[in-house]
Structure 1
Amino acid sequence: MIRTFIAVNLDPAIKERIGEACRDFDVKGVKTVEPELVHITLKFLGNVEEGRVDAIAGALKGGVTVKPFTATFRSIGGFPGPRNPRVIWIGAEGPFEELNRQVEDALAGIGFEREGRFNAHVTIGRVKFSTPEQKQQLPQLFEKYKDFYAGAQPVDRIHVMKSTLSPKGPKYEAIREILL
């Protein structure tokens, strides 16, 4: 079994700009994501048998018809809201909702359950526990970064990703590539 998800990977220059902004969010109780790991998750599959990877890639190749597009990455906020966020994110603009819908449809056809709502974003941090300082700092940081611009990049492929968890953090590896 391998832990898998479907993702849009980001260009190195965008990862670098995101990493610069992430430094400000390295506050007590927040675990920031290493810049080289940031991506857009289109669908998390969880643990799947390694032998199903080709079927997953095949379903995506046959079912995803979104044409290549340019994505823009801007603004930093928190889910579910700025006062008590659990996730810190950068917004992703482009036809990601349609891309997600097509990924969901393609994979539902081979037995994967559909997920709930989708909001295109790049996770840059997770709030592990809340502190009074953090409750004051995070809304101020969200305000500071509301006009943040990490850049734009072409999106002409998606990846089936393998996630390996370790005490040092996750390691991601693209195991299949699907061209748009």
Structure 2
Amino acid sequence: MAKTRTFIAVEAADGIHAHAQQAIGRLRPLAQNVKWVEPENLHWTLQFLGDLTDEEIAEVCRRVKKVVSRLEPFSISASGVGAFPKVDRPRTLWLGIGEGADEFCELQSTIQQSLEDLGFRGELRKYVPHLTLGRVSSSGPPQSSLTEELDHLSDLPRGQMAVDEVTVYASRLARSGATYVPLSHTRLGG
């Protein structure tokens, strides 16, 4: 039985795309061992689900629609650039959320809770809303200039957007990179 790699996210608005690309432009010269996210793939991840059957995807889409349609739209401001696990040991470079972070975390928690009895457990780590900019490969020496620039960008405002829709995506992996295909869209507030 074929399975599809699946995740739930909020698509980044055009204004956020521009700010994300600006941040990438500042970081790119400082990091040769980073796989940067393509502009069309920029999104705020709510939950990664892994490989699902068509039946599991249908149930996930149904539940996401049920809970998300009950929530009101809200706004977020992208703010600051950071890294997981730490700025001085970056593996994932990201754009964070300032204003609206609490509402975004509530959206994520509501979706996660609605899927728990299907076997989708949340991470043990506290959820940090973020938009992935790039992933640092483990090869290569530590890059102190990258760490310094991340410190400089930690408080920088990076645009605003409305959060008014949640999308369930399929992720198709290829040598050239991932392609994200929307499987369902649900508007907040119905």
Q: Normalized against structure 2, the TM-score is what?
A: 0.87
Letter matched to residue 155 of structure 2:
D
Give runs of aligned pairs for residues 50-61 of structure 1, distance below 5 A.
50-61=54-65
Q: Measured at CA, do residues 109 and 63 of structure 1 come closer, stay the same or move farther in structure 2, by a change above 3 Å?
A: farther
Query: Of 19, 22, 29, which aligns to 1:20?
Result: 22
- Post-superposition shift, 1:130? 5.2
- Post-superposition shift, 1:147? 3.1
Query: Of 35, 50, 70, which aligns to 2:75?
Result: 70
Give runs of aligned pairs for residues 1-180 of structure 1, distance below 5 A.
1-26=3-28, 27-64=31-68, 65-93=70-98, 94=100, 95-116=103-124, 117-129=126-138, 131-132=140-141, 134-180=142-188
Partners in 2 of 1:12 and 1:81 — Cα distance?
A: 28
- Post-superposition shift, 1:10? 0.8
Instruction: Give the % identical residues.
Output: 32
- Post-superposition shift, 1:115? 2.6
- Of residues 162-171 and 76-85 in structure 1, the stretch that sits farther from structure 2 once superposed is 76-85
What SS is found at the alignment partner of 1:115? coil
What SS is found at the alignment partner of 1:85? strand
Letter matched to residue 82 of structure 2:
G
Superposed CA RMSD in Å reads: 1.6
- Post-superposition shift, 1:150? 2.1
- Post-superposition shift, 1:23? 2.0
Can you give the 5+ residue segments of structure 1 that lack an aligned partner in the other structure?
Answer: none
Partners in 1 of 2:25 and 2:16 — Cα distance?
A: 15
What SS is found at the alignment partner of 2:181? strand
Can you give the 5+ residue segments of structure 2 that lack an aligned partner in the other structure?
Answer: none
Number of positions where the alignment pairs a residue of Structure 1 with one of Structure 2: 179
- Post-superposition shift, 1:53? 2.1
Residues 52-93 of structure 1: CA deviation (Å, up to 9, x unaligned): 222111111223333100011110111111111111111123
What SS is found at the alignment partner of 1:139? helix
Q: Measured at CA, do residues 114 and 82 of structure 1 come closer, stay the same or move farther in structure 2, by a change above 3 Å?
A: closer
- Post-superposition shift, 1:145? 1.5
